Structure 1
Amino acid sequence: MTDTLPMPSAPHVPVLLTEVLAAATPVEGAVVVDGTFGAGGYSRGFLDAGAACVLGIDRDPAAEPAGRALEAASGGRFRFLAGRFGDLEALLDAAGVPAVDVVAFDFGVSSMQLDQAARGFSFRNDGPLDMRMEQAGMTAADFVNTAEEHEIARIIWTYGEERASRRIARAITRARPFETTAALAEAVRSALPPRGRDQIDPATRSFQAIRIHVNDELGEILRGLVAAERRLKPGGRLAAVTFHSLEDRLVKRFIATRAGRTTNPSRHVVMAAPDARQAGSFAIRGTRPVVAGAAETDANPRSRSAKLRIARRTDAPAWDAPAVADDLFREAAR
């Protein structure tokens, strides 16, 4: 792609902003990383709350104009860092920032990306089958048009938790090549029973899975969490907002493991078991996430699935980095 697609001009409402700011208290005078800048809602919130310095990270070139504009208007208190939050440590090194007080994440695809048909994230409006957050590299069309049937089934099962993954993969390989979101959605629907009036579109899980794969979203989340653990000061706060179960389970397990707690095993991540000799690098209260209240969910439907998990960095050393598992075929090949 040669031209960077712009972000839409419609205002973006950051999810759980009040709760994220409360989790990061005290914000005044803090050095903050907004790991998922997007349209800048969290960054502006932190600046308004008195943060001394906010560093906004985003991999999407379409986010950079808003980031540069905020940088110019912030009086030196905001810096935009183009890149992946999984590379947070390298980005902070380049910016000359050794440690920070707060790291905040708003994981998943943004509403601005979903709303742009030309980005190919959604089938609500037909568009090119793209789905790339960075607008570079492998597209969704590249994947579904070239991958082996068993690989497509694995991805749809693993990242979409779709029980009919093998049937869908067969329908995709028979109908390809694809160029548009509408064509792929129709192929997926052809492999599944018609939905009821109150059910989600049958293509939803498959689109989610392909998007996560194309952008390595779970790998990025894990790398971002590890980087946050390594760069947060003792007493610093981690605030992570997720929007679907895979993201939330990964964040929950990471924090619980680092706090020395045990959780149900996840098939999406391999982590070292808690070791009595390894001091917890995070402290948490309870296990329930923070969710949006009725007023926010009424005003912003996207917030209904949002979950905020919070952890405080201790003064213990960071743990060895875990690794995302890649040997998940056995569960898809049932």
Structure 2
Amino acid sequence: MIRISNLPSFLAGAIMTPDRQTTLRNLKRLLPASLIAGLAGGGLLVLLTYVHTWCWGGIACYNHGLFDAIGTFQNLVLGILSLLLAGMLPAALSREGGTRRGSAVLAGGIAGFTAFLVLEMYSMVTAAFGHGYAAGLSDVLSLAHDTLANHALPLLAIGLAMAALAALGAFVVSFFRERAAGPSEGAAASRLILCSTVALILVAVVLPPLAAHAMLGAGMVDVNPGTALMTTAVSVERTAPDTLVLTAREVPPASVLDPGAPFSVFMNGVDVSNASACTASGFAATVEPAGGLEAIKGSEATWTGAGVLNNGTPVGVVVMAHGVDGSELVVMNLVV
């Protein structure tokens, strides 16, 4: 065994200096926090994918060009902020004065790469189980093998980029902690940076969808009526043997619907959209309200009479929505 003391001084210094010993000790102490922060950061990125779907899934079809662009930019901002936050956590939660900036930055990079691994594992699992059949561990492993074999370099580049962003977050926190007048001031600065980043994430999550909804409500967005009609949802319920109730569960903005006849209702192939249509067709039923189903979320219309009676033969109910541009879409077709 070769002892460091027997080596030339420059080699011994290159192998282990006091600074390197301190760095290794700091890194060993920060490693658990780095892994936990990476898991939290990866979990946050996964959660944000569901939040994005929930926020934009119902309105993106109104104007794909505009809302897809806003949603993509929002995802980019949220991803950057989430990685910065993941990198900040190990440095911000470490003992004041016991961590060098280099160790903190390296710990942040580890957190960022861990977040990348979590996100990639989530993508593989959802891809393996998203084909409509029961997948197993072998399917996930096979997909992982194919992904690494075909896309190793791009994935490595993405992982390193995510690690770099997290390392940047760690650098920011460690920089301000080192510049603080004392331990208390350093801890306060860390908390301020963390809370500010969390606040920015919340603002980036909430503000764009709220602004989009406000713009839709104010008529500031050019809406495609044909695609907007796809968000319409109407339900039917038999409340009595001779009574059917239709309810508008979801409706697009009023500006995309034909103001004269937003909905057409057919029962057994007969137009019964309103009281006048029932009278003209001789359909044995009354409509309440007389104007039929209104284009308002939660509105109801009731058809009562022998024409909707289920005496062993159910009634076929079809509801069609009409766009202001003349487009039409069947939004319900049921037999009750």
TM-score range (shorter-chain normalised) is under 0.3
Q: Greater helix percent: which structure?
A: 2
With normalisation by structure 2, the TM-score equals: 0.25
Bigger radius of gyration: 2
With normalisation by structure 1, the TM-score equals: 0.25
